[in-house]
Structure 1
Amino acid sequence: MVSLKVNENIISDVELVIFDKDGTLMDLYIYWANMVNYRVSLAQEKLGFDERDKKDIMYAMGVDLENKRLRSEGPVGLKKREIVMQAMIDSLQELGFKDTYDLCLEIFKEVDRQSIDHLPDIIQPIDGMYALVNALNENDCKIAIATTDKTERAKLAMQFLCIEEKVDFVVGADMVENCKPAPDMVELILKELAMDKRNAVMVGDAITDVEMGINAGLLACIGVCSGLTSNARLKQKTSIVVEDISHIEVV
């Protein structure tokens, strides 16, 4: 067991830390803004809409290019893949492009394949990520990932960051029936790693991350301000909030 020092709080008897991926371990905007851009650019090549329409579609999918941020309501970075794709389909329909489900599905798959060659451009670790992961690993604390991304994509990111051997289990939205804030991901992690919820902590940047941990009855939920959500909004759900994971210390 380890103890975590977060601000003035000491969280004791921790055997498992569950991290969200985007906005918690790695930069949220860089990853998803690029992925959505790749997807919409490929649709633009195939359908021929203009740059203004491209910008509008990206906004509908959750990327605010003008302010260089993700929209707090998502869907990208917050909700599962199918909902993000549906936002693209709906936006294309508004432009007069009908029956684009199969096209969008293939675009998403193709971008998954193409993006493997661009991982250095889209994956950037949050400050303190390596120090915290290494400290937990060295003290025999289990580490898990719970993400709305596909499990395969999350594992790919862990491999690129060279921490895959230190992460004990990865759960994506495709592995559970109900996505965040339902407790399904956490419950699957606890079952797989044979851990007690009273010894597990959730760390995430979204309200849904914190709510998932609360709904699962975890020991504690730590909100980080390095992604989607402000300090004030996170503190509506949990009293333990930090700027980013560099402010979480293993003691």
Structure 2
Amino acid sequence: MNAYDDYSALIFDLDGTLLDSMPAHYQAWQQTADEYGFEVDLDWYHSRAGSPTLLTAKVLVEKLGLDVEPKTLADRKNAIFNGMADMDVMVLPAAEIARHYHGKKPMAVGTGTLTEIAEKLLRKAGLLELFDVIVGADQVDNPKPAPDTFLKCASLMGAEKARCVVFEDAVFGIEAAKAAGMDVVDVTDRQHA
């Protein structure tokens, strides 16, 4: 478990990395889709993993020619998901790395989820106190796959970007970490091996 000792700070994605909350996000999108009269294909949804809700809403509006503002659609999905955030979500193996380094290195969560929802999920899972910084999609102008989320995490922790390692499960997040000039660990290699 000492493989990350050489890094000065650790950054974790939330959904699919620390917590198995992706099924609940999909359920919230399905409910939103039902309300607005369209369908969300599961395979397509999984291809959007790591994408902030507003960006996914923009793609849906454009792809399906929906007569709704993307922000309205995203706000509805977030409201539905927030109402579900009291449910139990499974803590994934990457959380053990965070527990190991708690108090030893600065750590952050950089997520495409809104900060308020991320904090609620982390608190419910008993993980919130492990992290020094939480950066949600609402805190940056350009969310994943842009590097802004992870760069803000490093800045708030006072860490050099080249000395940070990011733990991710999604293509958008892996691209964001690489664009930020950070090393990245694809946690799906460990969780599904």
Q: Secondary structure at 2:134's aligned position in 1?
A: strand
Hey, what does 1:124 align to over in structure 2?
A: 90
Counterpart of 1:83 (choices 40, 52, 55) is 55
Q: Please, which runs of 5 or more residues in structure 1 have no aligned partner? A: 5-10, 226-241
Aligned pair in 2 of structure 1 residues 100, 20: CA closer, same or farther (>3 Å)? closer
Structure with greater strand share of residues: 1
Q: Percent identity?
A: 20
How far apart, CA to CA, are the structure 2 residues paired with 1:195 and 1:91?
39
Instruction: Tell me the distance in 2 between the aligned counterparts of 1:223 and 1:191.
Output: 22
The answer to whether the Cα contact below 8 Å between 1:40 and 1:58 also exists between their aligned partners in 2 is yes
Tell me by how many angstroms 1:108 deviates: 2.8
CA-CA distance at 1:146 after TM superposition? 1.0
Q: Which residue of 1 aligns with 2:161?
A: 197
The within-5 A match list for 1:13-162 is 13-27=6-20, 29-41=22-34, 43=35, 57-59=39-41, 63-64=42-43, 70-72=45-47, 74=48, 77-90=49-62, 93=65, 98-99=67-68, 104=73, 107-117=76-86, 119-120=87-88, 123-126=89-92, 128-138=93-103, 140-162=104-126
Judged with a 3 Å threshold, the aligned counterparts in structure 2 of structure 1 residues 191 and 32 are, in CA distance, closer, same or farther, namely same
Alignment root-mean-square deviation, CA: 2.9
The offset of 1:144, in angstroms, is 0.8
Matched residues in 2 for 1:105 and 1:180: separation? 16
Corresponding residue to 2:185 among 197, 212, 222? 222
Letter in 1 for 2:29: V
Mark the structure with the bigger radius of gyration.
1
> Structure 1's 16 and 182: CA in aligned 2 closer, same or farther, altered over 3 A?
same
Residues 1:102 and 1:223: Cα distance change in structure 2 (over 3 Å): closer
Q: By how many angstroms is 1:142 displaced? A: 1.7
User: How many correspondences in the alignment?
Assistant: 193
Q: Which amino acid aligns with 1:201?
A: V
Q: Which runs of 5+ in 2 are unaligned?
A: none
TM-score (norm 2): 0.82
